[in-house]
Copies of this chain bind each other. A is one copy, B any other.
Amino acid sequence: MKEKLCTLREAVARFVPDGASVALGVQLESMIPFAAGHEIIRQGMRSLTLVGPISDILFDQMIGAGCVQRVIAAWVGNVMMGSAYNFRRAVEDGVPHALDVVDHTNFTLALALHAAALGVPFLPTYTAGGSSVAARSPDIAELQAPFTGEKMRAVRAISPDVTIVQAQRADPSGNAHVWGNLGVLPDAVHAAKRVIVVAEEIVAPKVIASDPNRTVIPGFLVSAVAEVPFGAHPSPVQGYYNRDNEYYGEYHRTTRTRPEFEAWLEDWIIGVKDRKGYLGRLGQARVDSLKVRKHAWSVRADFGS
Contact = CB atoms under 8 A, between A and B. Distances in A.
A148 B121 contact: yes
B147 A301 contact: no
Interface string A283-305: 00000000011111111111111
Nearest to A145: B121
Contacts of A177: 301
B146 A214 contact: no
A297 B293 contact: no
Interface stretch (A62-70, A94-102, A235-243): A235-243
Q: For chain A, what secondary structure do more than half of its interface residues adopt (helix, strand, loop), or is it mixed? A: loop
A190 interface: no
A302 B238 contact: yes
Contacts of A179: 213, 301, 303
Contacts of A292: 302, 304-305
Given A120-B152, A122-B147, A303 B210 contact: no
A294 B304 CA distance: 5
A299 B126 contact: no
A272 interface: no
Nearest to A138: B147
Contacts of A182: 213
A150 interface: yes
B146 A141 contact: yes
A207 B152 CA distance: 42
B296 A304 contact: yes
Contact of A210 (B122, B147, B298): B298
A133 interface: no
A91 to B, nearest CB: 26
Interface string A120-144: 1111111000000000000001110
23 contacts: A120-B123, A122-B147, A122-B148, A123-B124, A141-B147, A143-B146, A168-B301, A179-B213, A179-B301, A179-B303, A207-B299, A210-B298, A211-B301, A236-B305, A238-B302, A238-B305, A239-B304, A239-B305, A292-B305, A293-B305, A297-B303, A297-B304, A298-B300
Which 9 pairs between the two chains have the least Cβ-Cβ distance?
A239-B302, A211-B298, A295-B304, A296-B304, A146-B154, A296-B303, A292-B304, A141-B146, A297-B300
